[in-house]
Amino acid sequence: MRRTTTALIALTVFAVTAIFFGQGNSGGGGAAPAIFPRVQPLPFPTEPKTIETIHQKIRVVPFVRGLESPWSIAFLPNGDMLVTEKPGRLRVIRTGTLQPQPVSGTPQVVAEGQGGLLEVLPHPRFAENQWIYLTYAKAGERGNTTALARGKLNGNALTEVKDIFVADAWSVQPVHFSGKLAWSRDGMLFMTVGERFVGRDRAQLLNDHAGKVLRLTQDGAAAPGNPFIGRQDAKPEIYTYGHRNLQGLAIHPDTGALWESEHGPQGGDELNLIQAGKNYGWPVITLGREYTGEVISPQPAREGMEQPVTFWSPSIGLSGMLFYTGDRFPAWKGNLFLGGLAGMYVQRVVFNERGVWGREPIIPDLRQRIRDVRQGPDGLLYLALDAQQGGILRIEPGP
């Protein structure tokens, strides 16, 4: 699953060629311009559509409309769906119906650029404690950063809301917040913080949270056993470093390993297998280029820095991701699904014993910016569509 340097150089030549004939990557929500005009997404679908995929027909159903820039989906034990809207609202969808009033008590967010209300994730024992975790763009004297808040969901209100972690990743630019969350099998909480775009060398600094995967306790403290605990020059919350704009996290259902998807610049979106203490290279090594076309790094590999499991060039603006574990799509069991913002489709990734075996774009003809992909308790897939007049699509087996 790791490439040799020679192979990487060859792939970089391909990547650079693809950059100039394809789309760039401003999938994170609107910072950097593309060299060429983009194809615009289509309006939210109004009717179900049956689509052929490699293994089976699927039916794509408009599930809920009327959401403004939905960012994250989560399910509660009773089947309710929680959805964050980037401007700062937490919404509830119950039995397929969007509840009219947003949940009260959410934190005040920086609703600018790529900032806003980001991830929502219930505690693994939500039925016992009602804890909900939210990441968001937070304002402060030094600009803005990524924060983690926790509160109890009581009816249609969040109570006891408190910031339990505020990243030392301040910037005056409202971009590259990341903010993805995932619970590990040992009850620790993984959280991503982007490198904030300006001063991107921060991703290599261990005394800065920018450009990192963090590992926290359920109360927001540095998790025991983190690789840099005890070092005076390092933040104890850091689990891995050298990342750019981390937009997807998923725990492998069989191995328990953490996987991460990451926006490259112009080209070079990455899928990474996250291992404690490793350096993933940004911006010292990258398969992408500046949005102007200039070279970021002349070398695609360096000793001591991890290579992606696979990469995308042209970029598709990777977003939320999951490993499918349900029974409704038997041919897809164990496959990885990732949203594509700039690419405007869902990417299915198939693995074998050697690594990535193949990739298939799902629903490209619908031309929708896919912000999140989640598996529901019914074994179906749910997609959050990133648009001011956005909503949720459901993918079910076709006729």
Q: Which amino acid is at 135?
A: T
Active site residue 176: yes
Q: How far apart are CA 204 and CA 202, in angstroms?
A: 5
Give yes or no for a contact between 289 and 12, defined as CB atoms under 8 angstroms apart: no
Q: How far apart are CA 370 and CA 385, in angstroms?
A: 5
Q: How far apart are CA 137 and CA 112, in angstroms?
A: 9
Q: How far apart are CA 29 and CA 202, in angstroms?
A: 21
Q: Which amino acid is at 232?
A: Q
Cα–Cα distances in angstroms (integers) from residue 326 to residues 58, 136, 222, in the given order: 15, 30, 33
Q: Which of 55, 123, 176, 243 is catalytic?
A: 176
**Residue 84, strand partner residues:** 72, 90
Which of 160, 178, 161, 159 minimizes the C-alpha distance to 169? Answer: 178
Sheet containing 178-183: which strands, arranged edge to edge? 178-183, 189-193, 212-216, 238-241
Q: How far apart are CA 57 and CA 331, in angstroms?
A: 11
Sequence-ordered list of residues with C-beta below 8 angstroms from that of 10, at least 6 positions apart, any chain: none
**Residue 14 belongs to a domain with what CATH number?**
2.120.10.30
Q: How far apart are CA 128 and CA 76, in angstroms?
A: 12
3-state secondary structure of 373: strand
Can you read off the two tokens belonging to residue 337? Answer: 């699904």
pLDDT of residue 298: 87
Sequence-ordered list of residues with C-beta below 8 angstroms from that of 292, at least 6 positions apart, any chain: 35
Give yes or no for a contact between 274 and 258, defined as CB atoms under 8 angstroms apart: yes
Q: How far apart are CA 222 and CA 236, in angstroms?
A: 6
pLDDT string in tens for the chain (399-residue length): 444 333 333 333 333 323 222 334 445 544 444 445 678 999 999 999 999 999 999 999 999 999 999 999 999 999 999 999 999 999 999 999 999 999 999 999 999 999 999 999 999 999 999 999 999 999 999 999 999 999 999 999 999 999 999 999 999 999 999 999 999 999 999 999 999 998 899 999 999 999 999 999 999 999 999 999 999 999 999 999 999 999 999 999 999 999 999 999 988 999 999 999 999 999 999 989 888 889 998 888 999 999 999 999 899 999 999 999 999 999 999 999 999 999 999 999 999 888 899 999 999 999 999 999 999 999 999 999 999 999 999 999 999
pLDDT of residue 292: 87
Which of 77, 260, 236, 99 minimizes the C-alpha distance to 179? Answer: 260
Q: What would you report as the CA-atom Rg of the chain, rounded to the nearest whole angstrom?
A: 20
3-state secondary structure of 364: helix
Give yes or no for a contact between 12 and 300, defined as CB atoms under 8 angstroms apart: yes
DSSP 283: T
Range of the domain at 142: 5-397
Task: Please give the tally of structural domains in the chain.
Answer: 1
Q: How far apart are CA 396 and CA 49, in angstroms?
A: 11
3-state secondary structure of 127: helix
Q: Quote the distance between the C-alpha of residue 152 and its chain's center.
A: 24
Distance between first and last Cα of the chain: 37
